Structure 1
Amino acid sequence: MDVLINVFVALHIIGIASLLGGFLTQMKAMGAGTARFTPAMLHGALTMLITGIALVGLNQADGQTVNNVKIGVKLAVLVVILALVYVKRDEERVDKGLFGAVGGLTMVNIFIATLWV
């Protein structure tokens, strides 16, 4: 079971890398007002959602304790990110504030995952 959990953790990290990487590559465009949500950002958020749900189930099935409040907060932040990226995915330009919010929420999600014990 540990190997399967570690595979899903790796996939979860790949999802966050895709989402954050898509944001970071658009930082210069955000300054110019021409940033847009890339397909990699949408796919990264979806990967995080699916693998996160799988990780909760696998950890509970393995008898490990899961901090449901932490998972709930992370899920709420991810749903907001996913909704913003999904709704604005076809627009050629995204407002700086909206684009910055997605990057900020992504980093908040990372900090919640790593710092909340």
Structure 2
Amino acid sequence: MDRYLARMEPLRLILLFLHLIGFAMLLGGSIAQFLTGRLRINPAMLWGAIVQVVTGLGLAAPLRGGGDHEPPTAKLAVKLVIALMIFVMAFFSRKRDEVNRGHFLALGGLTLVNAGVAVFWR
């Protein structure tokens, strides 16, 4: 089993790298859009949300085969629910010329909450 884990480590690292890129796209896109004063969902935000969900599912998949460093299932479930909320908020609002301020701020806030869950929930 140890050889299996060693072979899967590069894949896990690639998924983690792409997951961080998705976070940067989502948060960076929302900050950039907020600074323009026109609150709308830009392509970086939408693609960031998509990348976050897809790579998050890949990271949560049983690729590592268990062990002491596995995140709690509850943490993964909370992160998945938040990521899906972000994706739905971005996807269904992507074609609007402008979104409600509360909707836009909630999307950015949920992005930060999801990062906080990832970092602080041990």
Could you tell me which amino acid in structure 2 is paired with residue 3 of structure 1?
Answer: P
Identical counterparts, % of pairs: 36
Q: Which runs of 4+ in 1 moved over 2 A?
A: 61-66
Higher-Rg structure is 2
1:63 and 2:41 correspond:
no
Q: Structure 1 length as normaliser, TM-score? A: 0.90
1:37 and 2:36 correspond:
no
How far did 1:58 drift?
4.6
Could you tell me which amino acid in structure 2 is paired with residue 72 of structure 1?
Answer: A
Q: Select 2:11's aligned residue among 4, 19, 29.
A: 4
Per-residue Cα deviation, 1:7-56 (whole angstroms, up to 9, x for no partner) = 10000000011000111101223xx4x21101111111111111111111
Q: Structure 2 length as normaliser, TM-score? A: 0.87
SS for the counterpart of 1:93 is coil
- Consecutive unaligned residues of structure 2, counting only runs of 5 or more, are 1-7
Structure (1 or 2) with the greater helix fraction: 1
- Consecutive unaligned residues of structure 1, counting only runs of 5 or more, are none
Per-residue Cα deviation, 1:70-114 (whole angstroms, up to 9, x for no partner) = 010011111111111001000111111100000000000000000
Q: CA RMSD in A?
A: 1.2
